[in-house]
């Protein structure tokens, strides 16, 4: 049974939102989940609604896997999205705002302030806000493009003695450089007013001689589903920069206004801004709820936050040794953020400084703002090493950041490749070639998550570090294929997409299906972010009917549930939403008792398997494979943060049985990581010290 992708996406957002209703969570943690759901909805409108509107306007009658046309999907989406928005504001207005007022972290309404306080705020507005504001007149013959997702004020003005019929419209964008929460000396400690309310109250100071008829905050969401047209002979970096410009002027897919705004004024604003009537959303409260989650990340108010979990030192990493020595002792599996990501960063930094390292190759999809990986690659190139970085410029909403990072790498002497034409390069791999006793040795990192030391503290991912010879040869071959655009041959360990991964996955699923039909034990355990590929779903459907035990942990989009009662008896699909974002992709096939375990950068989506460069890598060390499988089993045991995906695509929280103790997967993984660290004589404060490499010249 196929479920519409967009509805499944929104159902995931609903699961995130419901965390804000949990009374057992501290206030700022609940506010954070509310903010995440709002941010997810922003992305949904930019990417999915924008794309569907383009399809609708093209006139092509295309149906999704569930048989819905773009027009039908847009209708269903708007209804479901409206339900989520209503729930967001129900939680914000009736639950969270009263708690914020109690705790002293709620916005202060301007009507509650004294004349003296308002006077002080007026001075602050004129000195620190007004100089940054630029009123833009809205006229029929003039095109004004408001910044995507930014707050603005729509203002209707008239002369002191003029009739309202002769009014004019002005829009004032509120600069992102200014904080949304404005603190002032005239307010009590930690109290604040919102920038849009402050600006609206004093906006008349910018229009002397005119009357303010109406003033409202507003926000526009624009279509982000604009991609580069890759043509031969073009400057790809320049083409991508043009995509970023095009997004600024793309169609409006949503215009948000307060629900109490005057209808005629709202229609005039929408017409001038280019928002069609069906895109207007009237909200019963503050706009851009995503901003409120930042309080959970800022210092202070610790009583309103969850107690942080510190990353533990990874098993198999001795901080007194170099990372090369650590990896030489055996493969290492790191489960972040329960275990520290620092060894992966240190490997890159040591490679940059080690005179025996001759070459570094790395795939970069999303990196931190102040990326230590970028710094290490630049340092390595400056020291004369052969450094190659494939920077994916098509990483959605990170294109501008990746362009600037690529330019920095090029200035340092790094050989920069801008991905593979026609495909996104989403694989996570790093290869280091080191000379040891006259022989070249390869050290490899393969991961499920990005080379981003910031998100490694909040995303659940796996990293495999190895110097196994066959794996190193495969990674070398893979890099040569990607950078040299040579035809991919069969690998001995790896299965990259789009060439070999789907074929291998289907082969593994069908092998379990055949075993089940022969009456043998057959089982598939898998953890991923999304599932929507028709071929994979069809193979799973056959497997479920044959009696294969299927256990899936799909965090977000899940477009398949078994269509038969027989299949549903053998299948369980759960989604886990907890303090860390579930991001690791882990697969286990029973294989007649000789389990095959893999980690991968790819979800079971058509885009990953058919249109992206991805990697599927085996975990061959039996001890590490057992650890990976234990994570899969822990996902299925979770009865605290897990939801089960129901036959109609909706979801419901897993409820423990009467004699079943509560089990929370992420808490369990944190405890296991702590136990492993203690067993090896480490603690969470252990850090890797910089290693001074010895010269090891060729014999």
Residue 435 CA to residue 450 CA, distance in Å, equals 27
DSSP SS3 for 331:
coil
Residue 430 CA to residue 364 CA, distance in Å, equals 9
| Selection from 561, 570, 550, 585 nearest residue 647 by Cα | 561
251 contacts 274 by C-beta, under 8 angstroms: yes
Kindly report the number of other CB atoms within 10 A of residue 139's CB atom.
11
Residue 298 CA to residue 302 CA, distance in Å, equals 9
- H helix intervals, 337-397: 342-353, 372-382
- H helix intervals, 203-259: 236-248
Residue 582 CA to residue 575 CA, distance in Å, equals 9
Cis peptide before 531 (omega within 30 of 0): no
Catalytic residue among 201, 426, 445, 590: 426
User: H/E/C letters for each residue in 65-101?
Assistant: CCCCCHHHHHHHHHHHHHHHHHHHHHHHHHHHHHHHH
Residue 595 CA to residue 616 CA, distance in Å, equals 16
Per-residue tokens: 131: 């100089």
Helix or strand (DSSP H, E) at 200:
helix 195-202
Residue 529 CA to residue 614 CA, distance in Å, equals 14
Residue 101 CA to residue 462 CA, distance in Å, equals 41
Per-residue tokens: 110: 């301007």
Q: Is there a catalytic annotation at residue 426? A: yes
Active-site annotation, residues: 426
């Amino acid at each position: 049974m196929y479920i519409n992708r967009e509805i499944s996406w929104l159902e995931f957002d609903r699961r995130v939102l419901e965390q804000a209703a949990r009374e057992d969570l501290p206030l700022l943690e609940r506010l954070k989940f509310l903010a995440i759901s709002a941010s997810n909805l922003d992305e949904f409108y930019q990417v999915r609604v924008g794309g569907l509107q383009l399809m609708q306007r093209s006139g092509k009658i295309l149906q999704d896997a569930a048989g819905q046309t773009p027009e039908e999907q847009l209708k269903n989406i708007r209804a479901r999205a409206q339900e989520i928005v209503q729930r967001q504001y129900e939680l914000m207005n009736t639950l969270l705002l009263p708690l914020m007022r109690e705790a002293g972290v709620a916005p202060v309404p301007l009507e509650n302030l004294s004349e003296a306080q308002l006077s002080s705020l007026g001075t602050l507005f004129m000195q620190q806000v007004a100089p940054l504001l630029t009123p833009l007149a809205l006229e029929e013959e003039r095109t004004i493009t408001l910044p995507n997702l930014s707050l603005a004020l729509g203002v209707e003005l008239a002369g002191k003695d003029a009739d309202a019929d002769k009014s004019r419209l002005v829009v004032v964008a509120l600069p992102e450089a200014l904080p949304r929460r404005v603190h002032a000396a005239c307010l009590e400690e930690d109290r604040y007013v919102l920038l849009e309310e402050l600006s609206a109250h004093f906006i008349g100071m910018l229009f002397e001689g005119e009357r303010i008829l109406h003033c409202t905050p507003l926000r526009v969401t624009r279509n982000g589903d604009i991609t580069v047209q890759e043509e031969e002979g073009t400057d790809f970096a320049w083409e991508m920069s043009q995509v970023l410009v095009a997004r600024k002027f793309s169609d409006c897919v949503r215009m948000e206004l307060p629900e109490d705004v005057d209808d005629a004024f709202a229609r005039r604003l929408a017409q001038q801004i280019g928002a069609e009537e069906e895109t207007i959303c009237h909200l019963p409260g503050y706009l851009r709820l995503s901003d409120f989650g930042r309080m959970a990340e800022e210092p202070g108010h610790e009583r309103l936050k969850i107690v942080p979990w510190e990353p533990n030192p990874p098993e198999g990493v001795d901080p007194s040794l170099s990372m090369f020595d650590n990896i030489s002792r055996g493969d290492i599996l790191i489960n972040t953020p329960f275990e520290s990501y620092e060894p992966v960063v240190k490997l890159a930094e040591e490679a940059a400084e080690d005179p025996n390292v001759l070459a570094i190759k790395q795939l970069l999809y999303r990196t931190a703002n102040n990326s230590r990986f970028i710094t290490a690659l630049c340092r390595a190139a400056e020291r004369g090493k052969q450094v190659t970085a494939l920077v994916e410029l098509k990483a959605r909403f990170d294109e501008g950041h990746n362009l600037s990072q690529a330019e920095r790498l090029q200035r340092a002497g790094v050989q920069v490749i801008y991905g593979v034409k026609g495909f996104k390069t989403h694989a996570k791999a790093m290869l280091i070639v080191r000379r040891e006793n006259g022989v070249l040795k390869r050290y490899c990192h393969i991961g499920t998550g990005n080379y981003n030391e910031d998100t490694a503290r909040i995303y659940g991912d796996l990293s495999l570090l190895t110097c196994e010879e066959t794996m190193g040869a495969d990674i070398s071959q893979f890099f040569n294929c990607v950078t040299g655009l040579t035809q991919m041959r069969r690998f001995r360990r790896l299965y990259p997409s789009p060439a070999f991964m789907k074929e291998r996955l289907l082969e593994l699923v069908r092998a379990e299906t055949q075993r089940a039909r022969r009456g043998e034990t057959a089982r598939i355990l898998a953890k991923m972010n999304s599932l929507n590929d028709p071929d994979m779903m069809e193979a799973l459907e056959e497997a479920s009917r044959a009696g294969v035990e299927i256990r899936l942990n799909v965090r977000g989009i899940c477009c398949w549930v078994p269509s038969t009662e027989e299949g549903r008896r053998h299948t369980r699909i759960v989604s886990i939403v907890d303090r860390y974002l579930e991001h690791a992709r882990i697969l286990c096939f029973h294989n007649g008792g000789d389990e095959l375990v893999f980690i991968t950068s790819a979800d079971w989506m058509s885009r990953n398997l058919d249109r992206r460069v991805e990697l599927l890598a085996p975990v061959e060390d039996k001890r590490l494979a057992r650890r990976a499988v234990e994570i899969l089993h822990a996902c299925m045991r979770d009865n605290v943060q897990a939801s089960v995906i129901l036959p109609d695509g909706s979801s419901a929280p897993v409820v423990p049985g009467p004699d079943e103790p509560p089990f929370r997967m992420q808490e369990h993984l944190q405890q296991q990581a702590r136990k492993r660290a203690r067993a090896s004589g480490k603690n969470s404060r252990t850090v890797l010290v910089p290693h001074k490499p010895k010269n090891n010249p060729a014999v």
